[in-house]
Structure 1
Amino acid sequence: MKKLLLATAFAAIAGVASAQDAIKIGTEGAYEPYNYIDQATGKLVGFEIELGGELCKRANLTCEFVQNDWDSIIPNLQSGNYDAIMAGMSITDERKKVITFSDNYTPPSKSSYMAASADANTGEGAVISAQTGTIQAGYIAEQAGNTLLEFATPDETVAAVKNGEADAVFADKDYLVPIAGDSGGALVMLDKDVALGGGIGIGLRQSDTELKAKFDGAIQAMKADGSLNALIEKYFGPESEKF
């Protein structure tokens, strides 16, 4: 009987280990060029999707990306709906209270303002839009004299500037620059960059130390061989911050 129980226990352990090799990664699918939906194919694409595929390959993991709204992306990680987050999520002390992060796969990025005109107000009395739950929203909330206008999606923060609800939008610069470039002059970047956070990393449950070690090893290997910098340049251009 003891042998049977031991055999069953070992089988269960083996099953858990096998299941851990196949993981799900949550992403927003609305933050180009980090992660977004290709309108022609309906598939998730972008920097983090390609990077995630390479990291999983190097870590000997079978990975599947699943789309999740930003405002519930951490709770659904904690609930076990997926095993990791790759969603342009900056590493912050506040988030570290509830989840852990892999090594950063982008350097600390710059946040910036985008508005309908170069002389738009971002100081006293300004209304600034930002996505709920982001480091940018937290930053604006701390600025005396500003009014923070929060939205669930990044698209809505930009729309608020277009329709006159907000004087400017404050977000990751890499997200805003292509939007301004494609606007035909209707939207402009303001020369007011702000460095926030400790770079972007993979969000993980604090208990998943083995999975964190696998991702850390893969990220470190990509930093060492230059392939991570090459991928950053592919999506963000030759002037982008690199390792």
Structure 2
Amino acid sequence: MKKWKSMLIAGTVAVSLAGTGLAAYVTAAGAQQAQPAATVADSAAKQEAKKKFESRLDEIIARGYIRIGTTGDYKPFTYLNPKTGQYEGYDIDAMKEFAKSLGVEARFVQTSWPTLMNDLLADKFDIAVGGVTRNTDRQKTAHLSEGYVQFGKVPLIRAEDKDKYKTIEDINKPSVRIGVNPGGTNETFVREYLPNANVTVVQNNLDIPGLVANGTYDVMITDTFEAIVYAKNDPRLYAARVNDPFTKSEKAYMIRRGDFIFASYLDVWLDEMKLQGKFDELYKKWVE
């Protein structure tokens, strides 16, 4: 009898332990199943939030304004007027039209040529404008729109020197003093084609034309349009080679890459601006 009772107690304990283990297993298995379910639900929520704005285009329209990065130092495309504290110029007017087409407000954000790309990638603004040159180096990192106007690099010089600096060879000499703004395609051109010239980097691009006019520098390498504008406003200056620039390029607007919807809208808008003669109007207003 005692042996039978001992066997019964042992069996009961074994069953109890087995039951406890089974319960623990079931509980653990349930937890393991619940965890992926929660993760899936969280992932689904994130995907749903992402779907809310399929493109930056949708996000801009939803928030009611577009952030436009610009340097404010590159006439006639962008200029921060110190008297009014407002941006003005060819691309400023164009971006107001772009915002209007979206039904949103245009908000301008200060940037600089050396930081333009990094600021765009850091999401400080939605689009970069203001005389941005369309080239493959920028396209490797961002997305450049269709070109909207053609131009080239030319020398802005003193009117008295208009027969002195006609070619690269005329300018690429140690005796020729060049003033150039940092971080943009002007400096890139100077470093590549004028390595023998006496080059000074001037932080404020707006200062360089006046420094050429007063004799501090002999040459400013810049875009066709900027040279024309400064020569028109200061009789001491002369825009050389505007009909035969050293290079040929296009201006474009720059956005972050990978957003086909936003990029497509931007290019369609550009086509419409060209078809309706809007860019011709901007050229007459800011260049001629």
TM-score class normalised by the smaller sequence: 0.7 to 0.9
Q: Which whole-Å CA distance do the structure 1 matches of 2:212 and 2:278 have between them?
A: 37
The structure with more helix, counted as a fraction of residues = 2
User: How many angstroms does 1:99 deviate by?
Assistant: 1.4
Within 5 A, what are the aligned runs for 1:122-201?
122-125=171-174, 126-143=176-193, 145-162=196-213, 164-183=215-234, 185-191=235-241, 193-201=244-252
User: How many angstroms does 1:233 deviate by?
Assistant: 2.3
Count of residues in correspondence between the two structures: 235
Matched, 1:77 2:120: yes
1:1-35, CA deviations, whole angstroms, 9 ceiling, x for partnerless residues? 99x86577535532676533243110111222211
Matched, 1:52 2:95: yes
Q: Which whole-Å CA distance do the structure 1 matches of 2:93 and 2:121 have between them?
A: 24
User: How many angstroms does 1:56 deviate by?
Assistant: 2.6
Name structure 2 gaps, 5 residues minimum. 1-36, 166-170
1:30-52, CA deviations, whole angstroms, 9 ceiling, x for partnerless residues? 22221112344221111111111
Q: Is the 8 A contact 2:152 2:249 kept in 1?
A: no
Question: What's 1:109 paired with?
Answer: 151
**Aligned match of 2:264 in 178, 197, 213?**
213
Change beyond 3 A, Cα 1:34–1:171:
same
Moved more, 171-180 or 14-23: 14-23
Question: What's 2:107 paired with?
Answer: 64
Q: Is the 8 A contact 2:228 2:287 kept in 1?
A: no
User: How many angstroms does 1:59 deviate by?
Assistant: 4.2
Q: Which whole-Å CA distance do the structure 2 matches of 1:169 and 1:76 have between them?
A: 27
Matched, 1:96 2:96: no
Q: Which whole-Å CA distance do the structure 1 matches of 2:143 and 2:199 have between them?
A: 28
Counterpart amino acid of 2:154? Answer: S
Moved more, 14-23 or 204-213: 14-23
Moved more, 46-55 or 31-40: 31-40
Q: Is the 8 A contact 1:135 1:196 kept in 2?
A: no
Aligned-pair RMSD on alpha carbons?
2.8
Question: What's 1:241 paired with?
Answer: none
Q: Which whole-Å CA distance do the structure 2 matches of 1:105 and 1:35 have between them?
A: 15
Q: Is the 8 A contact 2:76 2:90 kept in 1?
A: yes
Question: What's 2:168 paired with?
Answer: none
TM-score w.r.t. the length of structure 2 is 0.71
Matched, 1:20 2:60: yes
User: How many angstroms does 1:60 deviate by?
Assistant: 4.7
User: How many angstroms does 1:140 deviate by?
Assistant: 2.1
Q: Which whole-Å CA distance do the structure 1 matches of 2:143 and 2:246 have between them?
A: 21
TM-score w.r.t. the length of structure 1 is 0.82
Q: Percent identity?
A: 20
